[in-house]
Amino acid sequence: MASSKLRQASSAEDENCALDMSPMIDCVFLLLIFFIVNASAIIVKTDPNVKPPIAANAMKQKTKDGRIVINIREDGTYTAEDFNVILPDEVAIFDLVDKERQKIEQLGQKPKLHLRGDKDTVFKYSRTAIRAAAKAKVSEVVFAVFVKQP
């Protein structure tokens, strides 16, 4: 008899008891928006005419900050990150690197030359780009390569 009264009393309370999920859903959406806004993807536009070499000891870069991308094609032509812009000579490379260096330094970052060269000619033509970057006061050079998978 006591158990039936207990069941009746507890069943009446269960019908009125409800958990409001809307504050928790709001909190989840706010956290989702926060992480999406703060996420920073490393995206470097790549020239389809450039096929970088493969390196066994290559390391992936952690940040994209401060990169000034110069592509070196197989025929020795230089392009900017927007690979439709061809840089005909060392003066054009210097102008691009100097302009980008000034923008990067205004953001408080350290500029670095990101050379993405074709595997057959990157070392043959990289000296010109490095020399132009040095004249533009950019001393750090990063060579882009494919990472060899174990």
Each residue of 66-93: pLDDT tens digit? 888 888 888 888 888 776 778 888 888 8
Domain contains 118: yes
Q: 83 with 141, same domain?
A: yes
- pTM beyond 0.75: the answer is no
Domain count, the chain: 2
27-54: per-residue pLDDT in tens?
A: 999 998 888 887 766 665 667 777 777 7
User: Do residues 95 and 88 make contact, with C-beta atoms less than 8 angstroms apart?
Assistant: no
Nearest Cα residue to 137 out of 118, 109, 111, 115? 111
Bridge partners (DSSP) listed for residue 52: none
Domain of residue 17, residue span = 2-38
On whether both 26 and 94 belong to a single domain, the answer is no
Contacts 24+ apart (CB under 8 A), 21-24: none
pLDDT value for 44? 59
User: Rounded to an integer, what distance in angstroms lies between the CA atom of residue 63 and that of residue 11?
Assistant: 59
**For the domain that residue 91 is a member of, what is the CATH number?**
3.30.420
Is residue 48, in this structure, part of any structural domain at all?
Answer: no
